[in-house]
Amino acid sequence: MSNAVTRTTFDQVMVPNYAPADFIPVKGLGSRVWDQQGTEYIDFAGGIAVNSLGHCHPELVAALTEQAGKLWHLSNVFTNEPALQLATRLTNLTFAERVFFCNSGAEANEAAFKLARKYAADNFGAHKNEIISCKNSFHGRTLFTVSVGGQPKYTEGFAPVPAGITHVEYNNIDALKAAISDRTCAVVIEPVQGEGGVLPADKAYLEAARELCSQHNALLVFDEVQTGVGRSGSLFAYMEYGVTPDILSSAKSLGGGFPIGAMLTTTAIAKSFGVGSHGTTYGGNPLACAVADKVIEIVSRPEVLAGIRAKHDRFVAGLNAINAKYNVFKTVRGMGLLIGGVLTDEFAGRAKDFLKAAEKQRLMVLVAGMSVVRLAPSLVIEDKDIDEGLSRLDAAIAELVSAR
């Protein structure tokens, strides 16, 4: 059997739930990627906000290689040094006192939602089980997390879905006030809605959510799967707002490309996850934890966090300059290096056309819904790559506009 594979191979052997690009990347370095033909691309997609330090960062390669020569897997029948070191670093740097490790953002959110219900049942009774989430939110693809997510398209065909979930309008304090009650066990919010269009929360909204949760003995859960680990310009976005949650979920950038997720919480809340109450075979894997520990150490450096803010300004200035020429964005919004260009009415629903046009210009970008072009590049992307990538985006948009 031949070992040669092409994009056509995907259609022959893979489940058709994805529609990947026509090219296959085979090598990456920093914010550049090369495909099977040796064509070079600039990466503004970052593996959907995962490759926090770009491709093949030397310190991450070294951390992974060192651990690979020591210990790969034990299971949670035993603990291991990398997991304990990472948990210690996370608790030292955040509000959290306890950490649960898993393999993805969906798993981190699944753990968060289960813990919220278990804590409420333990302390207030089984009737306190309602989870309030936001419309247009996204929390993962398990049946529970996709039900908490506020996008009905992701639950189509999967009914019946879990009950006890209420959705309210994002950034609407009055709607949250009207919905929350003594039956509510948790309010779940993304500080920036990622898949929902790169829409930041209002500070007043998060402050109100914190106050309302405290009043009703409900837990405030921040889904920081996409905004966490430097993406916002702070280590976690809750630090940008000055609003502290009871539970926080993290993944994506946490592993810099190696699969890992984490749920962070306090000692008092963590008590409800007693021995045997929840688990995951690969959670706390030594390889993943060794890489993630190095990611957190690097991203926490003051010069890296300051660089994220400077790079945000460079991106926004560049996007606004492009928009002054072509008038394709209603607004450019976001936080740190999670940036969205909201398409004008003329181009509404055509975000994927922008992605395809960028691909032709050897630039990798993302979409967030049908009408937002999303950028989530490496947190340490070089300025020359930003400028060259924006030049390629300019060319892509010029071609789209000329064809209208």
The residues of the chain that CATH labels 3.90.1150.10 are 7-57+302-402
Where residue 278 falls among pLDDT bands split at 50, 70, 90? very high
Average pLDDT over residues 223-252: 98
What per-residue confidence (pLDDT) applies to 339?
A: 98
What per-residue confidence (pLDDT) applies to 1?
A: 43
Rounded-to-integer distance, Cα 44 and Cα 225, Å: 18
Where residue 404 falls among pLDDT bands split at 50, 70, 90? confident
Rounded-to-integer distance, Cα 287 and Cα 65, Å: 9
Would you say 105 and 221 are in contact if contact means Cβ atoms under 8 Å apart?
no
Using a pLDDT cut of 70, give the percent of the chain over it: 100
Using a pLDDT cut of 90, give the percent of the chain over it: 98
The residues of the chain that CATH labels 3.40.640.10 are 71-299
Written as one letter, the residue type at 359 is: E
Would you say 338 and 194 are in contact if contact means Cβ atoms under 8 Å apart?
yes
CB atoms within 10 A of CB 281: 11
What per-residue confidence (pLDDT) applies to 149?
A: 95
Q: What pTM did the predictor assign?
A: 0.95
For the chain, give the longest Cα–Cα distance: 65
When the pLDDT of each residue in the chain is averaged and rounded to a whole number, the result is: 96
CB atoms within 10 A of CB 317: 12
Rounded-to-integer distance, Cα 73 and Cα 92, Å: 25
Segment 306-344, tens digit of pLDDT: 999 999 999 999 999 999 999 999 999 999 999 999 999
Where residue 206 falls among pLDDT bands split at 50, 70, 90? very high
Domain 71-299 in CATH 3.40.640.10? The answer is yes
For residue 339 the two structure tokens come to 């940036």
Is the previous residue joined to 160 through a cis bond, with omega within 30 degrees of 0? yes
3-state per-residue secondary structure call for 184-223: EEEEEECCEECCCCCEECCHHHHHHHHHHHHHCCCEEEEE
What per-residue confidence (pLDDT) applies to 403?
A: 82
Q: Is the pLDDT of residue 193 over 50?
A: yes
What per-residue confidence (pLDDT) applies to 3?
A: 74
Q: Is the pLDDT of residue 7 over 90?
A: yes
Segment 150-177, tens digit of pLDDT: 999 999 999 999 999 999 999 999 999 9
Average pLDDT over residues 137-159: 93
Would you say 41 and 363 are in contact if contact means Cβ atoms under 8 Å apart?
yes
Residue 361 backbone dihedrals phi, psi, to 5 degrees: -95, 15
What per-residue confidence (pLDDT) applies to 258?
A: 97
Of the listed ranges 7-11, 187-191, 216-220, 373-377, the one predicted with least confidence: 7-11
Average pLDDT over residues 205-225: 98
For residue 401 the two structure tokens come to 């506009």
For residue 379 the two structure tokens come to 């947190």
Would you say 102 and 108 are in contact if contact means Cβ atoms under 8 Å apart?
yes
Kindly tell me the burial class for residue 154, based on how many C-beta atoms sit within 10 Å of its own C-beta (0-12, 13-18, 19 or more): middle
What CATH number has the domain spanning 7-57+302-402? 3.90.1150.10
Average pLDDT over residues 43-51: 98
Rounded-to-integer distance, Cα 360 and Cα 74, Å: 45
Average pLDDT over residues 257-286: 97
